[in-house]
Amino acid sequence: MNKITAAITAVGGYVPETKLTNFDLEKMVDTNDEWIRTRTGISERRILREPGKATSDLATPAVLEILRKKNLDPKEIDCIICATVTPDMVFPATANIISDKVGATNAFGFDLNAACSGFLFALTTGAGFIESGRYKKVIVVGADKMSAIVDYTDRNTCVIFGDGAGAVLLEANTEGYGVQDSLLKSDGSGVKYLRMKAGGSLHPASVETVLAKEHFAYQEGQTVFKFAVKGMADISAELLERNHLTGDDIAWLVPHQANLRIIDATANRMGISKDKVMINISKYGNTTAATIPLCLWEWEDKLNKGENLVLAAFGGGFTWGATLVKWGF
């Protein structure tokens, strides 16, 4: 019997309607459109403004799009994995809430937290389930409502992040399509540079943590930038080398959208020209776990069966990784 691989057979995505532009931010903090565009590549981001709406409300339409496109009964889904740092609540898992909202009553689900690398970690995990032969249909979601944990008085972070969700369907394949290889890394010594200081078991929520604004994303941008440039570029180059490929063999680089300068450095290192790099940071900013599936969602019509894609990310933790995918539809 041929080896089972996990092919991506459908993509869904969702971004909220409300746009927060650089010009809007100019009125909120001491910043300007020119600084944001030249330092990050971002012009606007989407924000889920409606009260009572959460990360699962971003993820649900993305998953429903997949079900619609594939004419799939939600009861056929075996598993939903949701990569997020902004779960609806600490527990239960947002994946469970998504399963309920889409009617995936036969699926088990769980959340996975690897910050901006979350989608790659979840994709690799989901692919493992399929490759084992035990599961046939796994949905991997990357979703974040970053506006829930961004301090809109802090110009260091509020210009960067946005809200969104993307999802892929993984199905068992015996023709060799799908996830080919994955290199994933973590380094917990990076915790101090990018984190939410309170709200976990180390510093549970208290009046003091709220007053000290410790429930917002905290980032030492310059340090993270240096690690991200090296981490994402090195691991992507290593993935190519390990698979005896060069930039010429890659149809698309699908990078995490944290900063246009990090994306450019990764593409250069891999010898991939800019026209083969998916970039939508200008419209959506950094949507954390959602950036990579949102790119796949937007570029879906341009992708051809059998093409090689390299998905690459770097994020809080630190976490980073690169995944080689042979496009499956």
Cβ proximity of 149 and 286 under 8 Å: no
Cα–Cα distances (Å) from 215 to 87, 129, 147, 207, 209, in that order, read 14, 34, 12, 11, 7
79 is catalytic: no
Figure out which of the listed residues 19, 35, 199, 279 binds ligand UT7, where binding follows CB under 6 A: 35
Q: Which of 102, 120, 149, 262 binds ligand UT7 (CB under 6 A)?
A: 262
Active-site position among 256, 259, 280, 295: 256
Do residues 156 and 35 lie in contact, with contact meaning Cβ atoms separated by under 8 Å?
A: no
Which of 66, 98, 130, 228 is in the footprint of ligand UT7 by CB under 6 A? 228
Residues 265-294 vs ligand UT7: string with x where CB under 6 A?
A: ---------------------x--------
In whole angstroms, how close is the CB of 91 to ligand UT7 at the nearest point?
Answer: 24
C-beta separation of 127 from 6 below 8 A: yes
Query: Catalytic one among 79, 82, 116, 158?
Result: 116
Contact by Cβ (8 Å): 266, 230? no
Q: Across the strands, what pairs with 311?
A: 254, 323
Tell which one of 22, 99, 259, 287 touches ligand UT7 (CB under 6 A): 259
113 catalytic, yes or no?
no
Angstrom CA distances, 75 to 84, 138, 165, stand at 23, 12, 22
Q: Which of 39, 136, 203, 269 binds ligand UT7 (CB under 6 A)?
A: 39
Q: Going along the chain, which residue ranges are E strands?
A: 5-14, 19-21, 44-46, 79-83, 108-112, 137-145, 163-173, 178-186, 194-196, 217-219, 252-255, 308-315, 319-326
The nearer residue to ligand UT7, 58 or 160, going by C-beta atoms, is 160
Token look-up 């910043």 returns 31
Residue in 155, 197, 230, 269 binding ligand UT7, rule: CB under 6 A? 155
116 counts as catalytic: yes
Q: Does 172 bind ligand UT7 (CB under 6 A)?
A: no
Binding-site ranges for ligand UT7 (CB under 6 A): 31, 35-36, 39-40, 116, 155-156, 159-160, 221-222, 224-225, 228, 258-259, 262, 286, 314-316
